[in-house]
Amino acid sequence: MKETCEITKVHPEAVDRVQQHMVELDGVAALFKALADETRLKIAYALTIEPEMCVCDIAAVIGSSTATASHHLRYLRERDLAKSERKGKQIYYSLSDDHVRQLVTIANEHAKEGVSVEQNLSS
């Protein structure tokens, strides 16, 4: 199947409706860019399972040094995707809110569905 239209015909009503509601999406793009890194996504996913984890535990989960884990956690925190709290001598991280948890969970579910569809098509 060809992926482009065979003729050029703009539907002005549809274009106008969309343009009237179009908003700046820079912040959304930055959010997805932050989660596009596999290590940061693993961290975010880990925090959907265990709502609060210290840097040492996160490093163990992702198989990295605490310095590497801290770098990625700081990146997530600076973009308001994670938050941190000092408890004694340790820093604990959690996702900043339920929206982030939902994004990660829904994206994972969607990816799994895509794998199921691909497997069914190849059968």
pLDDT digits (tens, 9 = 90+) for 93-107: 999 999 999 999 999
Domain range list for the chain: 39-122
pLDDT in the model for residue 123: 59
pLDDT in the model for residue 2: 81
Specify whether the CB–CB gap between 43 and 73 falls below 8 A.
yes
pTM of the full predicted structure? 0.83
Burial of 72 (0-12, 13-18, 19+ CB in 10 A): buried
Within 8 A by CB and 6+ apart from 108, the residues are 45
pLDDT in the model for residue 1: 73
Specify whether the CB–CB gap between 76 and 29 falls below 8 A.
no
pLDDT at residue 71 is higher than 80: yes
- What is the third-level CATH fold of 39-122? Arc Repressor Mutant, subunit A (1.10.10)
pLDDT in the model for residue 122: 66
